[in-house]
């Protein structure tokens, strides 16, 4: 179940970035959305790496 939630979060971040990229909005708004998406993806990635190393 947790993998499904993570996949939904990743998909949401990627889709939000794609949608914002195609919209004609201010650069500041785009930067905020991109920063949030990158931060969330980095947190999920680091969490996965830490869990992988703890299992070994």
Mean pLDDT by 10 residues, the chain (56 residues): 86 94 93 95 94 90
Residue 40 has a pLDDT of: 95
Question: What's the confidence (pLDDT) of residue 56?
Answer: 79
CB 29 within 8 Å of CB 20: yes
Helix axes 27-55, 2-22, angle to 10 degrees: 160
Domain ranges of the chain: 2-55
pLDDT value at residue 52 = 92
Q: Given this model, what pLDDT does residue 9 score?
A: 92
pLDDT value of residue 1: 64
List C-alpha distances in Å: 2 to 14, 30, 38, 39, 49: 19, 29, 20, 19, 15
pLDDT of residue 46: 95
Can you list the positions of beta strands (E) in the chain? Answer: none
């Amino acid at each position: 179940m947790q993998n499904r939630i993570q996949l939904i979060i990743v998909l949401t971040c990627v889709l939000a970035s794609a949608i914002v990229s195609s919209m004609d909005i201010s650069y500041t708004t785009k930067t905020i959305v991109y920063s949030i998406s990158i931060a969330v993806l980095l947190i999920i990635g680091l969490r996965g790496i830490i869990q992988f190393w703890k299992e070994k």
